[in-house]
Amino acid sequence: MKKIELEIVALSHSITQTHSYAVVLGELNGLRRLPIVIGGFEAQAIAVALERMNPSRPLTHDLMKNFMLAFNVELHEVIINDLQEGIFYSKLVCSSENDTVEIDSRTSDALALAVRFGCPIYTYENILESAGILMENDEKKKAATASQPVTSDSSREDLKSLSLEELNSLLTEVLEQEDYLKAIAIRDEINTRKK
């Protein structure tokens, strides 16, 4: 399978859900986004590395990097390789002098290490197809939001009462507001109806 390179484009805190964050990965040279819900500690670990902050003591992911470097293990790439029941699975592609190995990892941990090592992040087409969100150009966004009245409440029950057309318009609206957690819920409802 052909790998698609991604980059971290946003790290969003949810106002509606306590301790919930979304890391948003964007397709390099493309319009698709892959939002992934992560925990607060993992979000902090990613943010610290993105901002190039130096905590007084190493965080867990800094310790892992130091350990790997001490034993001449290099992280070459992270691959988000599976999606099962809304859970993303990843692997770390590492090498030492003698061997290259793939190590199973939680996606949030893999991303925190990828930022620290400066290595590329990849996924596959089927994962972007099923869980990705297509960012439309500005003209299409404005037309979609102007043509449809949308509701601002996107709880699960309210989403079920909306038509597919209304869900697509609401998705456009929350993406403009960069509320990626609501976008995930809307995307999931749209995907459920397509099945």
Q: Write out the residue range of the structural domain in which residue 155 sits.
A: 136-194
The total domain count for the chain is 2
Interatomic CA distance for residues 78 and 123, integer angstroms: 8
pLDDT at 181: 63
Q: Is the pTM of this model over 0.75?
A: no
- Whether residue 101 is found in the same domain as residue 187: no
Q: What's the average pLDDT block by block, 10 residues per block, for the chain (195 residues)? A: 93 66 91 90 88 84 96 97 94 95 97 97 95 69 35 56 87 73 76 79
pLDDT at 91: 98
pLDDT at 150: 33
What is the 8-class DSSP label of residue 138? Answer: H
Backbone angles phi, psi at 149, to 5 degrees: -75, 135
pLDDT at 103: 97
Q: Which two tokens stand for residue 90?
A: 């990843």
- Whether residue 53 is found in the same domain as residue 122: yes
- Whether residue 54 is found in the same domain as residue 120: yes
